[in-house]
């Protein structure tokens, strides 16, 4: 019987080694697998290379992992924002290495790894320092740079629901990097709000097939949701967010 579920986040991240390359899903805090990151902090692995769109927000999730100085290098497209003070301090002190990758290239390099593509040409970054040392080729009158896939030892992904086979569905914008990261890692570990019985997921809505998933753990519904609908919460400064009646007008229901 195929059953990819595990009983705790501690069991989910067991075996992640020092020096591992880890993809972490999320676009800022939307879709970030915070409970898995906290379990990784407790697990103790260090000297990590992290692949993420951002470089941490505030003091929680990825930022908390950075604060523990367990990350040697981060590969991302958007390292600095108003609440990236943990990364800023580490980078200015020379305590973390940064590889900056334009967002489209980052997504395509991850997707290419999952799809088995050896390399591809992209125009993004040509004429800037990001293309220094890369093979350039002119195609239809435009210059492109050769880009290679990004793969990882482990992907930590946040999804909405799963069955015991590891089939996943996501919630709105929390989907972001999860599907491509799940396909690009040797081991994919997923946290979901709930694990549902086989047959409960409409096959037409499954985004990540279970073949790409190795471990699934249920962490419960987020505090700002009820039955999958946004019911309010606070932002990083503690200010109240819109409730469900105004969420559609503000776009807030897609944020997490």
Kindly state the DSSP code that residue 211 receives in the 8-state scheme: G
Query: How far are the Cα atoms of 60, 72, 127, 247 from residue 236, in angstroms, in the given order?
Result: 10, 26, 37, 17
Measured on CA atoms in the order 55, 56, 61, 67, is the torsion positive or negative?
positive
Query: How far are the Cα atoms of 12, 30, 122, 185, 217 from residue 180, in angstroms, in the given order?
Result: 20, 16, 18, 9, 19
Nearest Cα to 93, choosing from 117, 66, 54? 66
Res 47: pLDDT: 97
Res 232: pLDDT: 64
Least confident range of 151-160, 161-170, 242-251:
242-251
Please state, in angstroms and rounded to a whole number, the distance separating the CA atoms of residues 174 and 148.
26
Checking if the pLDDT of 56 tops 90, the result is no
For 9-39, give the DSSP string: HHHHHTTPPTT-EEEE--BTTBT--HHHHHH
Res 238: pLDDT: 60
Domains of the chain are 9-101+150-220 (3.40.1080.10), 225-256 (no CATH)
Res 58: pLDDT: 85
Average the pLDDT over 119-136 and give the result: 96
Average the pLDDT over 124-134 and give the result: 95
Average the pLDDT over 240-248 and give the result: 55
Res 26: pLDDT: 92
H or E, element range at 196? none
Residue 118 backbone class (left: φ over 0; alpha: ψ -120 to 50; beta: rest): alpha
Res 44: pLDDT: 94
Reported as a single tens digit per residue, the pLDDT across 201-223 is 999 999 999 999 999 999 987 76
Average the pLDDT over 175-198 and give the result: 96
């Amino acid at each position: 019987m195929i059953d990819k579920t595990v009983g705790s986040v501690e069991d989910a991240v067991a075996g992640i080694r020092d020096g591992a390359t880890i993809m972490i899903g999320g676009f800022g805090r939307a879709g970030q697998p915070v409970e898995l990151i906290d379990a990784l902090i407790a697990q103790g692995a260090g000297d990590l290379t992290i692949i993420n769109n951002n470089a941490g927000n505030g003091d929680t999730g990825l930022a908390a992992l950075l604060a523990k100085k367990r990350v040697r290098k981060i590969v991302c497209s958007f390292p600095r924002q108003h609440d990236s003070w943990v990364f800023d301090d580490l980078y200015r002190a020379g305590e973390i290495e940064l590889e900056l990758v334009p967002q489209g290239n980052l997504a395509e390099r991850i997707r290419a790894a999952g799809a088995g593509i050896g390399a591809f040409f992209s125009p993004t970054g040509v004429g800037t320092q990001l293309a220094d040392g890369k093979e350039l080729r002119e195609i239809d009158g435009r210059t492109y740079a050769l880009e290679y896939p990004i793969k990882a030892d482990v992907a930590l992904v946040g999804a909405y629901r799963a069955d015991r086979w590891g089939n996943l569905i996501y919630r709105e914008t929390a989907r972001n990097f999860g599907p491509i990261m799940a396909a690009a890692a040797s081991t994919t570990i997923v946290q979901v709000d709930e694990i549902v019985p086989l047959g409960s997921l409409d096959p037409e809505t499954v985004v990540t097939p279970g073949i790409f998933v190795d471990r699934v753990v249920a962490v419960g519904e987020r505090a700002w949701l009820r039955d999958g609908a946004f019911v309010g919460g606070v932002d990083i400064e503690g200010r109240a967010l819109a409730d469900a009646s105004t969420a559609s007008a503000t776009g807030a229901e897609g944020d997490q």
